[in-house]
Amino acid sequence: YKVVTLLKSAGHEVTTLDMAASGIHPKQVHELDSVTDYYEPLIEFLRSLPQEQRVILVGHSLGGMCISVAMELFPNKIAAAVFVTAFMPSPDVSFLSLLQEYQQRLDSSLDTKITVDDSPNEKPNGSMLFGPQFLATKVYQLSPPEDLSLALSLLRPARSYGDEELLQEKTRVTKDNHGTVAKVFIVCQQDKVLDHEFQLSMIERNPANDVKVIADADHMPMFSKPKSALCISSRNCRHVLLATECVCWI
């Protein structure tokens, strides 16, 4: 809400989208069979845009995967893609490999609750719910306490997908489509979820057209450093779309 206000005051047209089963989206987490169900709200929005309209996509955390898929499917509708301490896959480095690397790097999940569906499926899906301690010490540690309180009141579980081959297939991107869209990466140096080193390693393997650094931002720069979080300027595009999953970031 802070960043949206700042962008609108700067003259941008702003749309915010919750991915499926996130934020105030009506779907429940158990209704997501695959990752395509999760990012469907973004795909439907872009599909509905007039052919001549272009947007700047902004993805935070897991939203980076969502906007990467959008870059693959709608490269001509996207003026630029902004990754805010977000997963940034490429044709050479898959989202699945980045997700696995993130899981290996995370030193502790603290009070996060992880469950697996009771399903006859050989590769069952699951869900994950961040705990208050994890949110306070790793996600919102530099953000105002009222924003942490708001997050705790809106918290929803996030989906995990058991079929890794399907996840790989549905998040694959190519140079011919995804690779034609300009990328900006915003580094948050105090992020304890996607740590600083991990962010830099993604940029090294998948160079962005521009890199911005926010020195004192945690994983939630839109709260800890809202005025610095989205320094977006565009001469040809007035519509900014934030791909977010509200408080259920992975």
Residue from 12, 60, 178, 219 carrying the catalytic annotation:
219
Average pLDDT over residues 48-69: 93
The CATH number for 220's domain is 3.40.50.1820
Reply yes or no on whether 33 is catalytic: no
C-alpha triplet 120, 124, 33: angle, nearest 5°? 105
Reply yes or no on whether 219 is catalytic: yes
Residue from 61, 68, 90, 127 carrying the catalytic annotation:
61
Domain count, the chain: 1
Residue from 18, 191, 195, 218 carrying the catalytic annotation:
191
Q: Which of 9-13, 22-26, 196-200 has the lowest average pLDDT? A: 9-13
Radius of gyration of the chain (CA): 17
Looking at the domain assignment, is residue 144 inside a domain? no
pLDDT on residue 231: 59
Looking at the domain assignment, is residue 91 inside a domain? yes
Question: Would you place residue 41 in the very low, low, confident or very high pLDDT band (cuts 50, 70, 90)?
Answer: very high
Range of the domain at 182: 2-106+164-244
pLDDT in tens, 169-218: 999 999 999 999 999 999 999 999 999 999 999 999 999 999 999 999 99
pLDDT on residue 232: 46
83 has pLDDT over 70: yes
Amino acid at 54: R
Question: Are 182 and 66 within 8 A, CB to CB?
Answer: no
Report the percentage of the chain scoring pLDDT > 70.
Answer: 92
CA 247/CA 130 separation, integer angstroms: 10
Q: Please, which residues have CB within 8 angstroms of residue 220's CB and are 6 or more apart in sequence?
A: 139, 140, 143, 147
Average pLDDT over residues 38-62: 93
pTM above 0.85, yes or no: yes
pLDDT on residue 8: 81
- The residue among 228 and 40 whose pLDDT is bigger is 40
Looking at the domain assignment, is residue 208 inside a domain? yes
pLDDT on residue 244: 46
Question: Would you place residue 4 in the very low, low, confident or very high pLDDT band (cuts 50, 70, 90)?
Answer: confident
Q: What are phi and psi of 158, to 5 degrees?
A: -105, 150
Reply yes or no on whether 160 is catalytic: no
Both structure tokens of 140: 């919102």
Angle between helices 63-73 and 35-48 (to 10 degrees): 50
Looking at the domain assignment, is residue 153 inside a domain? no
Question: Are 19 and 38 within 8 A, CB to CB?
Answer: yes
Looking at the domain assignment, is residue 101 inside a domain? yes
Q: What are residue 60's DSSP bridge partners? A: 84
Looking at the domain assignment, is residue 151 inside a domain? no
